[in-house]
A = this chain, B = another copy of it.
Amino acid sequence: MLHHESLDRVFHALSDTTRRAIVERLVSGPATVSELAGPFAMTLSAIGQHIQLLESCGLVRTAKVGRTRQVALATDALARAESWFASHRARWERRLDRLGDVLGEDDDEDDTSKQKAER
């Protein structure tokens, strides 16, 4: 249950363009809160709230370095979220291959099979 809840929070954190952009920025290395606020044209307060949410679900870690707060990517949460996809990938890829048979295709992707049928 706890595992589900924490995944809920990680996916919720990632459901915001700005927060994903912060994570993407941190992939290149740690940054101070001010450094993060600059490129994103956000107030320190606004960026602070995003960082707090990212930290609360384990996506980033922060540490006081002198008078600034350093923000860095954390390991577990991203890996856990990605592993949700990985754990189902093989089965869903097989499934998607067979989807057309079940629901019938009604979009452009169907052109290939139509062409095959017409041959």
Contact = CB atoms under 8 A, between A and B. Distances in A.
Interface of A: 4-5, 7-12, 14-17, 20, 23-24, 26-30, 61, 63, 70, 72-75, 78, 81-82, 84-85, 88-89, 91-92, 95-96, 99, 102-104
Contacts of A29: 95, 102
B15 A70 contact: no
A42 to B, nearest CB: 16
Contact of A15 (B15, B102, B104): B15
Contacts of A81: 85
B72 A103 contact: yes
Contacts of A99: 30, 61, 72-75
